[in-house]
Amino acid sequence: MTTPPPAARLPQIAVGCPRCGAAAGALCTSHGGARVRRNDTHVGRRAAWVAAGRPDTSSPGRSAAAAFEKGR
């Protein structure tokens, strides 16, 4: 069994990344999109997470649509 990378446990994974376009629940990618950022996320992703009101992260990888529906 493989251990998830440290970045997968960060709360800002709950929102998409405006810098690289990674979907909610997916890791950020490098400049060219060839490699995943295993240890951190882009600064803009954390800012997007804060702007989104710090959505629920109890279910890692849940979609942005599910988070939106819960907030209705």
Beta partners for residue 21, in sequence order: none
Q: How far apart are CA 67 and CA 35, in angstroms?
A: 27
- At 44-71, the pLDDT tens digits run 999 999 999 987 655 444 444 444 344 4
Instruction: Report which DSSP code applies to 65.
Output: H
Q: What's the pTM?
A: 0.69
Q: What is the mean pLDDT of residues 4-20?
A: 94
Q: Where are the beta strands (DSSP E) in 2-56?
A: none
The position carrying tokens 């999109």 is 33
pLDDT value of position 43: 95
Mean pLDDT of the chain, nearest integer: 81
Q: How far is CA 72 from the centre of its chain?
A: 21
- State both tokens at 33: 């999109």
